[in-house]
Amino acid sequence: MAHPRKQSVLGVEISATNYREVMWLCREWIARRQPAQNTLRAHYIVLLTVHSVMTAVREPLYRAVLNGADLAAPDGMPLAWALRSFGVRGQPRVYGPDLMLAICGQSARLGHRVFLYGGREEVLPLLCARLTGRFPALRIAGSYSPPFRPLTSEEDRQCMNTIRSSEADIVFVGIGAPKQERWMAAHAEKLPGVVMFGVGAAFDFHAGRVKQAPLWVQRSGLEWLFRIYAEPRRLWKRYILANPAFLLMWLLQRIGVLRYPNIRLEG
């Protein structure tokens, strides 16, 4: 199958894609899954924000993780605007929480099994209840709330066994960037045929723990202000420092002062 073409923004390869295409690829990957082939790796999809791109600028290994993803969709409006400025006409935002709901709806219709990795222990039951309330036919194969520390090798082995034994087709990973992208890349070989989505704060949003910005704020590119207002202590550095730096570097790349390879994947 052909993958969406990618455009390099500050060295991070961002997929020129949309909700419909991501959903189509997800169901095609699952349909072509061959459990008997133990060498088949997982597919992983990253939802990029300015924060994740700027982290990748500073950390080459993280940039390699993002560039190794099957899809790297623009979650933030500034990234959608950046793609448009490089010639990707009409590029939409692919918002992680909305994509998660769209994939859950498709999974409910097609009988795909989903696993939830991440979130606080008290949040996961609320999330499961809300998702199944919205999509009664959704098959939640299992969930796991990892501790706020690296797993031991034994804990990680048990977690992988749990996910594999659940026969999940899709794993939603909600442990925040950059941790969730590194986790997906590190476990792609251990979950053959599974489709993984790094959805960040979507767990808290859909469980009702954190309030989402109004739709007009999301579309205007000002969601970062709403997030700072909602969680100032945790998020102010992320947005106040990263956003201006991104805008400057994007401009310098656009006028040709900074140069990065333009990667276009055809399959």
pLDDT tens digit sequence for 99-154 = 999 999 999 999 999 999 999 999 999 999 999 999 999 999 999 999 989 999 99
- pLDDT the model gives residue 42: 95
Q: Answer whether 174's CB lies under 8 Å from 168's CB.
A: no
- pLDDT the model gives residue 163: 98
- pLDDT the model gives residue 35: 55
62 within some domain: yes
235 within some domain: yes
219 within some domain: yes
* Domain count of the fold of the chain: 1
Give the tens place of pLDDT for each residue, 50-94: 999 999 999 999 999 999 999 999 998 999 999 999 999 999 999
> Which tokens in the block code for residue 4?
């969406």
For the packed helices 50-58 and 77-85, what is the interaxial angle rounded to 10 degrees?
Answer: 70
Q: Which domain holds residue 73?
A: 6-199+215-254
Q: Answer whether 169's CB lies under 8 Å from 26's CB.
A: no
Residue of 231, 230, 213 whose CA lies nearest to 222: 213
Q: Answer whether 139's CB lies under 8 Å from 112's CB.
A: yes
- Name the pLDDT band for 242 (thresholds 50, 70, 90): confident
- pLDDT the model gives residue 210: 83
Query: What value does the mean pLDDT take over residues 13-31?
Result: 97
116 within some domain: yes
Residue of 174, 175, 198, 199 whose CA lies nearest to 185: 198
266 within some domain: no
- pLDDT the model gives residue 241: 79
Give the tens place of pLDDT for each residue, 185-205: 999 999 999 999 999 999 999
Q: Average pLDDT over the chain, rounded to whole? A: 90
176 within some domain: yes
19 within some domain: yes
Q: Answer whether 172's CB lies under 8 Å from 202's CB.
A: yes
261 within some domain: no
